[in-house]
C-alpha cells in the first residue's frame, strides 16, 4: 500500500464519521407534554381546574348600562342621567380535610355621570373566605335580601360590612348567625361599633318563610323583618313587613314598613312585577308617613343579555310626590 492510497482511505473514513455526527446534530427533540384546562363539575357550572392544582376557579362578571330619571334629582332641574357599571368576580374552591375551602373576590367600577355617585371609580366590592358553613371577610350580609323583587321597596340602610357568620343549610331549612364590625358605619359617634344579626328560612311546599333580625349595640337599637313568598299561578307573590325600634346602622328609613309584589311571568322571557309599599314614621319623624307603587318589566333578549325598565311613584306626607325610573341593558357572564 502506497502513501497515496493510505491518505485517500483516511479521508473517506473521516467523511463518514463527520456525516454521521452531522445527522445526529439535527435530530429534533420530542415536544413537552401539554396540560390542558380541565372542567371542574364538583361545585356547579363554570368552574375549571387551575393547571397543576386541585383548586377550581370560576370567573364571572356583568356590564350594566342605562338611563335613569327622577322629578327631583338635583336643584338644577337635571331630571335624567346615564350610567355604566361593571363587575368582575373570581371564585375559587377546593376540598380539604376540614371541608370545602372557598374564596370570593368581586371588583366593581362605574363610568361617567352615574347616578350612584361613584363616577370614574373602581373598588373592591366584596372579598371573603368560606370554610364549610363559616364565612369571614367583607360582604353583603343576609339583610341585603330584605324586600321584594321590585325597585320601590326600602327598609335596610346598610347590609355590607366586615363580618363573620355561620350558616347551616338543609334541603328545606336554613339558619344563620353573624357578627358585624360597624365601627366605620355607625349612625352615632364613631367608635367600636358591633352588631349581630340572624337569619332563618323554611321552604314549605310552594311557599317559603323567611325572618331576619339585627341589633346595633352602639345605637342600642334593633330590627326584625318577616317575609313570605309563594308560587301562585303564573308568577311569584311576595309579602314582607319590617319594624325598627329606632335609627341604627342597619335601618334608618322608617319605624316600620310593609310591601307586596307579584312577579307575573307573562312569557318564558318576559316578567312583569307590580309592587306597592307603605312606610310609617319616615326617618323616624312622628306622623311623616309615605307610600309608593311601581311597575318593573324584565325581558331576556338572549342568554346572558337582559333588558329591564321600571317606573316608580313615591309620596311622603312632608313633600310632594315624585316619579322615578330607569331603562337598562345588562350583559352577564
Helices (H), the chain: 3-25
**Which domain, by its residues, includes 64?**
32-132
**Is residue 52 in some structural domain?**
yes
Assigned domain for 124 exists:
yes
Measured in Å, how far apart are the chain's first and last C-alpha atoms?
86
Residue 53 lies in a domain: yes
| 269-286 per-position pLDDT tens digit | 999 999 999 999 999 999
Mean pLDDT, all residues of the chain: 88
Query: What cell does 19 get?
Result: 456525516
The domain total for the chain is 1
Asked whether residue 114 is domain-assigned, the answer is yes
Reduced 3-state DSSP string for 135-182: EEEEEECHHHHCCCCCCCCCCCCCCEEEEEEEEEECCCEEEEEEEEEC
Q: What contacts 328, CB < 8 A, 6 or more positions away?
A: 64, 65, 66, 307, 308, 309
Give the Cα-Cα-Cα angle 228, 146, 329 (nearest 5 degrees): 110
36 inside domain: yes
The per-residue pLDDT for range 123-166, each reduced to its tens digit, is: 999 999 999 999 999 999 999 999 999 999 999 999 999 999 99
Q: Evaluate if residue 21 carries a pLDDT over 90.
A: no
Band (112; pLDDT cuts 50, 70, 90): confident
Q: How far is CA 191 from CA 187, 245, 259, 305, in A?
A: 10, 21, 34, 44
Q: How confident is the model at residue 71 (pLDDT cuts 50, 70, 90)?
A: confident
Residue-wise pLDDT for 24-37, tens only, equals: 455 555 655 556 78
Q: Flag whether 87 is in a domain.
A: yes
Q: How far, in Å, CA of 98 to CA of 104, rounded?
A: 18
Q: Judge contact between 242 and 155, C-beta under 8 A.
A: yes
Rg (alpha carbons) of the chain, rounded to whole number: 31
Instruction: Indicate whether 45 belongs to any domain.
Output: yes
| Residue 115 scores a pLDDT above 70 | no
Amino acid at each position: 500500500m502506497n502513501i497515496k492510497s493510505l491518505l485517500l482511505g483516511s479521508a473517506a473514513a473521516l467523511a463518514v464519521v463527520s456525516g454521521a455526527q452531522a445527522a445526529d446534530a439535527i435530530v429534533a427533540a420530542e415536544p413537552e407534554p401539554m396540560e390542558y384546562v380541565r372542567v371542574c363539575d364538583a361545585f356547579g357550572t363554570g368552574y375549571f381546574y387551575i393547571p397543576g392544582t386541585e383548586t377550581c376557579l370560576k370567573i364571572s362578571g356583568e356590564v350594566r348600562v342605562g338611563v335613569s330619571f327622577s322629578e327631583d334629582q338635583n336643584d338644577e332641574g337635571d331630571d335624567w342621567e346615564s350610567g355604566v357599571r361593571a363587575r368582575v368576580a373570581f371564585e375559587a374552591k377546593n376540598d380539604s380535610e376540614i371541608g370545602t375551602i372557598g374564596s370570593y373576590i368581586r371588583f366593581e367600577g362605574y363610568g361617567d355621570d352615574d347616578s350612584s355617585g361613584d363616577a370614574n371609580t373602581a373598588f373592591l366590592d366584596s372579598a371573603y373566605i368560606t370554610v364549610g358553613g363559616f364565612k369571614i371577610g367583607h360582604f353583603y350580609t343576609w339583610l341585603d335580601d330584605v324586600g321584594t323583587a321590585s325597585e320601590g321597596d326600602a327598609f335596610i340602610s346598610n347590609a355590607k360590612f366586615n363580618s363573620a357568620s355561620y350558616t347551616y343549610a338543609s334541603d328545606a331549612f336554613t339558619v344563620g348567625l353573624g357578627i358585624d364590625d360597624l365601627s366605620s358605619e355607625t349612625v352615632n359617634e364613631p367608635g367600636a361599633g358591633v352588631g349581630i344579626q340572624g337569619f332563618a328560612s323554611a321552604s314549605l311546599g310552594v311557599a317559603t318563610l323567611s325572618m331576619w333580625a339585627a341589633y346595633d349595640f352602639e345605637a342600642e337599637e334593633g330590627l326584625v323583618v318577616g317575609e313570605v313568598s309563594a308560587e301562585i299561578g303564573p308568577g311569584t307573590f311576595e309579602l314582607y313587613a319590617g319594624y325598627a325600634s329606632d335609627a341604627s346602622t342597619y335601618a334608618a328609613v322608617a319605624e316600620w314598613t310593609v310591601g307586596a309584589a307579584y312577579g307575573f311571568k307573562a312569557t318564558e322571557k318576559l316578567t312583569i312585577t307590580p309592587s306597592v309599599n307603605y312606610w310609617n314614621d319616615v326617618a323616624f319623624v312622628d306622623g311623616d308617613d309615605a307610600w309608593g307603587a311601581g311597575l318593573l318589566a324584565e325581558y331576556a333578549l338572549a342568554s346572558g343579555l337582559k333588558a329591564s325598565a321600571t317606573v316608580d311613584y313615591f309620596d311622603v306626607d312632608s313633600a310632594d310626590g315624585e316619579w322615578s325610573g330607569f331603562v337598562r341593558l345588562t350583559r352577564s357572564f
